[in-house]
Amino acid sequence: MKKEDINNIKESIMMCKIRLRNMQPYIKNSEKISQSYNKVLIEKAILREKALHKEPTFMQKLVRKLSPNKKKLICDYFKSC
């Protein structure tokens, strides 16, 4: 991801936090506000996951290519008697 994308995600997360803070006092009074609060909370969680799972860096790619990849065989999943 580009820095611009990450910054946009961070801004969106901050906006979700503000919306959640504004809705919090009214959750118990109205069911519609409670539902919209839950939607914003889910949206915030999705954005956080996107921010955490960014593309690997050059060093991470290099280490992954240089490390040996031992493929598992189907017999590796079963214990031999």
Instruction: Give the tens place of pLDDT for each residue, 4-25.
Output: 788 888 899 999 999 999 999 9
- Cβ distance 35 to 41 under 8 Å? no
User: What's the residue count for the chain?
Assistant: 81
Alpha-carbon distances of 55 from 22, 23, 25, 49, rounded to whole Å? 33, 34, 38, 12
Q: What is the pLDDT of residues 38-54, one digit of tens each?
A: 999 999 999 988 888 77
Answer whether 0.85 is exceeded by the pTM. Answer: no
Q: Residues of the chain with pLDDT > 70: what percent?
A: 94
